[in-house]
Amino acid sequence: MANILLVYNTPGWAHHHMAVDIQQWAPESDKVQIMSNDELHAVVARHGHKAFDIVDRRLHTTTPLDAMSHFYYPSASTLFSVTCRRYVCSVDTHGIRFQRSETPSKDNWESWAASQETNAGTAVYCLGPLASVIAINRPILKAVLEFNERATLCLPGVNVEIFSPDTTVAKRETFTAGWCGAQTTSVKCHDQVLMPLTHRDTAAWQVHTCNNPAKAKSRVEMAKWYNALDAFVCTSVCEGAPCTVMEAAACGVPVVSTDVGIIKEWPEMHDLGLVVPIPANEKAAITTIREIDVMLLRLRDDMNYRRRCSEVLLKSVRKRFSWEHLAPQWVRAIAGD
């Protein structure tokens, strides 16, 4: 039995949802609890090396914590002020770029695209002392292994109880494609790829952006949003997962995506012809726009193909990325078993 604390960064955001889902599907023999980063920082700042005693009491646990995992990077103050048998962090693509050069500007499109293949890591002061680092895709694992040989791969999951096909949600009369993201910066290719696509006649578009967790749709609301779509599109040049692709597919919605993050781990996406190259520069973006438009046109006009994509992706996302299957792996990796 392991007694684990998961620390997430922003309430209502992806890492919070991940912690909640791992807690829900953790093996019954293990005790998994969650706490926000701000709450933990407040405890550490106030109590220093006694922080874990305080955390134990706050979590009402009589068994000392075996392991603590940070989703995203822990701060130096937390890392070096708190003692624990195992201290682990989980990193996505945005967390480990360009240790040997520079962190790309949020508006430097080509540097973001390059970092998808040349992740070198940041914050070595965090990576080195950690008992382990969990990488959520293979390019990240390769990069992290340069700094922590105990790094391991754990794929991100999707909550298939929340994200599932809902026949009560009506589709729109016009073929509709969707895109959503927490930001519209160049890493998402919002202006470079998405906006040109929305000006074409192939599909009507539903574009949802929200960079404020307090105002974001709930996951139940997002599931209904996905279910009303005929297709979902990811245009990013750099991603860890992306979670939106898994969520849409779990709702039975065909997905077209650039070859980022876990898309490389998803053979059914490639077999169905739903993957386009990462648009690493403006010239490549023109090709990406054209290829996505062709895919959407086929999904619009070929109902048999659309139905097959929906069925194959739904089956594969449940098999490969359901938290019911992945959460025990995360718990074991965090606990060091």
CA pair distance 11, 29, nearest whole angstrom: 27
Comparing 24-38, 129-143, 289-303, the range with the smallest average pLDDT is 129-143
pLDDT surpassing 70 at residue 40 = yes
For the chain, how far is it from start to end, CA to CA, in angstroms? Answer: 10
pLDDT surpassing 50 at residue 321 = yes
> pLDDT per residue over 78-100, tens digit each?
554 455 567 777 776 544 443 33
pLDDT surpassing 80 at residue 153 = yes
At 118 the pLDDT is 40
DSSP for residue 279: -
At 282 the pLDDT is 87
At 294 the pLDDT is 97
208 has which bridge partners?
180
pLDDT-derived band at 148, boundaries 50, 70, 90: confident
Q: What is the mean pLDDT of the chain?
A: 82
Mean pLDDT of 160-180: 96
Comparing 46-60, 78-92, 126-140, the range with the smallest average pLDDT is 46-60
Q: Are 226 and 232 in contact (CB under 8 A)?
A: yes
- The amino acid occupying position 97 is R
pLDDT-derived band at 313, boundaries 50, 70, 90: very high
Handedness of CA 209, 215, 218, 224 (dihedral sign): negative
CA pair distance 23, 283, nearest whole angstrom: 44
CA pair distance 264, 270, nearest whole angstrom: 8
CA pair distance 92, 137, nearest whole angstrom: 8
pLDDT-derived band at 255, boundaries 50, 70, 90: very high
The structure's pTM equals 0.86
How far is Cα of residue 219 from the mean position of the Cα atoms in its chain? 14
Could you give phi then psi for residue 280, rounded to 5 degrees?
Answer: -75, -15
CA pair distance 255, 261, nearest whole angstrom: 14
Higher-pLDDT residue of 114 and 132 is: 132
At 78 the pLDDT is 52
Mean pLDDT of 227-241: 93
- Domains (range + CATH), the chain: 3-157+323-335 (3.40.50.2000), 176-321 (3.40.50.2000)
Cα distances from 207 to residues 184, 197, 226, 295, in angstroms, run: 11, 11, 11, 18
Mean pLDDT of 23-52: 79
Q: Are 254 and 306 in contact (CB under 8 A)?
A: yes
